[in-house]
């Protein structure tokens, strides 16, 4: 079993000065080693799910350790108390989205999203909305009428919300637009009304995606993937019948 010291040593050895510069431009702050996502994946793989180690990594205060913590934490074991405590430490969008993604798989995902979305503070609201983006297509989490209410709220509020909250709201509109055709029509009406969502990405190459084109590309991709799966299944069935 790996110890905190073992993993921190691996992270330190994998970090680079160039990655530290890149992550800093994305809002990450020291202490950090600057570990690439490829190396984070390599380090995380043998650790599998280790909630106790994740807690120790998060408590270290190191940016890379916290990203790794959110890869190996057990979503089913994330209590509301721990989620709120970790949220207080979030100070950049990398951690905000990583935490939101992990919590979207937790038992309290909907409750925490409801608690945080309307916060006037950037990171709690960002995490709350990112949870919506991750769960919008799950009928057991959101009814269609609830999602229409969120679309209406975004339509009214998005221009005035903090920078990264606007980005996450944009993502929510995309996710809701992918849920079904009726919701997609509602989203596209709002998209036409609000226009491109303005988000300051600083000195990075990141962009906030245009809603309608992104939905179109995703739907086409899904259709292509479904066709490939169907063709593969048909070929398998044909081979089996001919055996």
Tell me what the mean pLDDT of segment 181-205 comes to: 97
Residue 127 has pLDDT above 80, yes or no: yes
| pLDDT tens digits, one per residue of 64-107 | 999 999 999 999 999 999 999 999 999 999 999 999 999 999 99
CB-CB contact of 19 with 34 (8 Å): yes
Largest CA distance in the chain: 64
pLDDT of residue 241: 83
Calpha distance 5→224 (Å, rounded): 46
Q: Given this model, what pLDDT does residue 189 score?
A: 98
208-230 pLDDT, tens digit per residue, is 999 999 999 999 999 999 999 99
Per-position DSSP letters for 210-226, written without gaps between them: PHHHHHHHHHHHHHHHH
Per-residue pLDDT for 132 more than 80?
A: yes
pLDDT score, position 243: 60
Long-range CB contact pairs, 211-218, < 8 A, 24+: 211/170, 211/173, 211/174, 211/177, 211/187, 212/188, 214/174, 215/174, 215/177, 215/178, 215/184, 215/187, 215/188, 218/174, 218/178
Q: How many Å apart are CA 25 and CA 191, to the nearest integer?
A: 29
> Three-state DSSP class for 236?
helix
18 has a pLDDT exceeding 70: yes
Residue 240's pLDDT is: 86
Examine the pLDDT at 17 and tell me if it is beyond 70: yes
Burial-class residue 29 by CB neighbours within 10 Å (0-12, 13-18, 19+). exposed
* 146 token code pair: 């609830």
């Amino acid at each position: 079993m790996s110890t905190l010291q073992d993993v921190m040593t691996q992270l330190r050895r994998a970090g680079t000065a160039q990655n530290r510069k890149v992550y800093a431009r994305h809002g990450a702050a020291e202490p950090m080693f600057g570990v690439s996502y490829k190396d984070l994946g390599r380090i995380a793989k043998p650790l599998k799910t280790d909630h106790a180690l994740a807690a120790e990594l998060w408590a270290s205060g190191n940016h890379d350790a916290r990203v790794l913590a959110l890869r190996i934490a057990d979503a089913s074991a994330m209590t509301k108390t721990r989620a709120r405590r970790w949220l207080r430490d979030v100070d950049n969008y990398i951690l905000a989205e990583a935490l939101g993604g992990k919590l979207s798989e937790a038992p309290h995902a909907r409750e925490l999203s409801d608690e945080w979305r309307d916060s006037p503070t950037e990171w709690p609201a960002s995490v709350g909305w990112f949870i919506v983006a991750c769960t919008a297509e799950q009928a057991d989490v959101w009814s269609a009428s609830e999602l229409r209410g969120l679309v209406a709220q975004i339509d009214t509020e998005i221009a005035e919300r903090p920078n990264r909250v606007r980005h996450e709201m944009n993502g929510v509109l995309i996710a809701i637009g992918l849920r079904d055709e009726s919701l997609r029509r509602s989203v596209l009406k709002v998209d036409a009304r609000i226009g491109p969502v303005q988000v300051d990405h600083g000195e990075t190459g990141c962009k906030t995606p245009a809603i309608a084109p992104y939905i179109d590309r995703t739907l086409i991709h899904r259709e292509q993937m479904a066709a490939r799966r169907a063709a593969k299944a048909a070929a398998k069935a044909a081979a089996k019948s001919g055996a």
